[in-house]
Amino acid sequence: MNRTVCVVTGSRADYGLLAPVIRALRDDPDLNLRLVASGMHLAPEFGQTWRRIEEDGFAIDWKVDMLVASDTPVAVGKSVGLGVIGFAEAFAALAPGMVLLLGDRFETLAAAQAALFACIPVAHIAGGDLTEGVYDEAMRHAITKMAHLHFVTNAEAGRRVRQLGEAPERVHVVGSPGLDALRETALLDRDALAQAVHFPWREKNLLITFHPPTLHPGAAADQCRELLTALEGLGPGVGLLFTLPNADNEGRALMELLRAFATEHQNARVYASLGHRVYLSAMAQADAVVGNSSSGLYEAPSLGVPTVNIGDRQQGRLCAASVIDCPPRAGAIRAAVLRALGTDARETKNPYGDGHSAPRIVACLKAVEDWPALVRKRFVDWTEPS
């Protein structure tokens, strides 16, 4: 039987979570790894992060160039179409026995469609999570229905996947592989980190990532301005490290705002991509994580760093006690940041596992004797709890 697993990564965000799984697949003598890079990895404006993949020692077997140089709804739709074409060609050439995907982005949706039409079984990581403020929510659940094995990050997510009609024996609670990356990564100390990012650390420092809330067309720039107003109100003594948003609708408008803000404020820096080790090191050294990125919910609690979660992009997602929710208004954001700066989160319990997800995923893949048979699925009716 064909035991080749093709892993698809489309951005710095999913790669950071996938890297431990990619490494475990590469090192297993019973499995063959193929790696496809696409989306933001290939775009100069997002840092051409495919190079970091190779620097980590992974060989990229195929590149799917799918991003249209715009962030309008039409451009995103065209990017998905180009992605389906590109992934269809990649899968035909690489002939994998399984495609492994993570999350809910449109690059992942395109790969799932191409695998579906080629009758290649799909293993999906992080199905069943909720992100009610973005259209990624619908894409995540759509990918679940196109997938055949489900590696969920928590028990509640597993229940939702079963509620979507997936067979219970195909749903495995493994935790988030992002915690594997934390366990495996040698983080930089503060001095080494300051040299790596070319930024002198202040007494207090924030790591900030703000993505467009795609279910609120036209709101991204306004919400970002509220965030910047709140951060400006903290004064020049607080260091502000921004990473740029994803390639989502209205993302380029946010990039312009962030870069203009950094030009006018010496305590601020903007980075297209820090790389996973530097990003995690910055998170560990920060006094709080601010924005609406999933990393503030997945990884920050394990580092004992509080998170200010702005708006409804991550609404519905399981949260640790160290996560502080606030609306996207300057006053509320500033109050939440001040609260976070006074919070001791070192004893926080992370609800997303123990940092051993990758070996569980590999073991589950190997335990399935007949991968081709997975493509035939039965819908399991949901029984309401009594």
Give the model's confidence band at 216: pLDDT under 50 very low, under 70 low, under 90 confident, else very high. confident
| Mean pLDDT score across all residues of the chain | 93
Instruction: Find the mean pLDDT for residues 320-331.
Output: 96
Give the model's confidence band at 287: pLDDT under 50 very low, under 70 low, under 90 confident, else very high. very high
Q: Where are the domains of the chain?
A: 4-176+353-375, 188-341
**188-341 has the same fold as 4-176+353-375:** yes
Closest CA to 127 of 150, 109, 148: 150
pLDDT in tens, 249-285: 888 889 999 999 999 999 999 998 888 899 999 999 9
Give the model's confidence band at 247: pLDDT under 50 very low, under 70 low, under 90 confident, else very high. confident
pLDDT, residue 384, reads: 65
Give the model's confidence band at 385: pLDDT under 50 very low, under 70 low, under 90 confident, else very high. low
Provide the CATH topology of domain 4-176+353-375. Rossmann fold (3.40.50)
pLDDT, residue 311, reads: 93
pLDDT, residue 208, reads: 97
Give the model's confidence band at 132: pLDDT under 50 very low, under 70 low, under 90 confident, else very high. confident
pLDDT in tens, 13-62: 899 899 999 999 999 999 999 999 999 899 888 788 889 899 999 999 99
Q: For residue 100, what are the β-bridge partners?
A: 7, 123
pLDDT in tens, 66-121: 988 887 889 899 999 999 999 999 999 999 999 999 999 999 999 999 999 999 99
With 0-12 CB in 10 A as exposed, 13-18 as middle and 19+ as buried, what is 124?
buried
Give the model's confidence band at 341: pLDDT under 50 very low, under 70 low, under 90 confident, else very high. very high
Give the model's confidence band at 377: pLDDT under 50 very low, under 70 low, under 90 confident, else very high. very high
Give the model's confidence band at 205: pLDDT under 50 very low, under 70 low, under 90 confident, else very high. very high
pLDDT, residue 57, reads: 94
Which amino acid is present at 331? G
Q: What's the Rg (C-alpha) of the chain?
A: 20
pLDDT, residue 386, reads: 59
Helices (H), the chain: 12-27, 50-55, 73-94, 106-117, 136-146, 155-163, 177-184, 190-197, 220-232, 251-264, 276-285, 295-298, 330-341, 357-367
Q: Rounded CA gap, 85 and 72, in Å?
A: 20
pLDDT, residue 323, reads: 96
- pTM comes to 0.89
Q: Architecture of 188-341 per CATH? A: 3-Layer(aba) Sandwich (3.40)
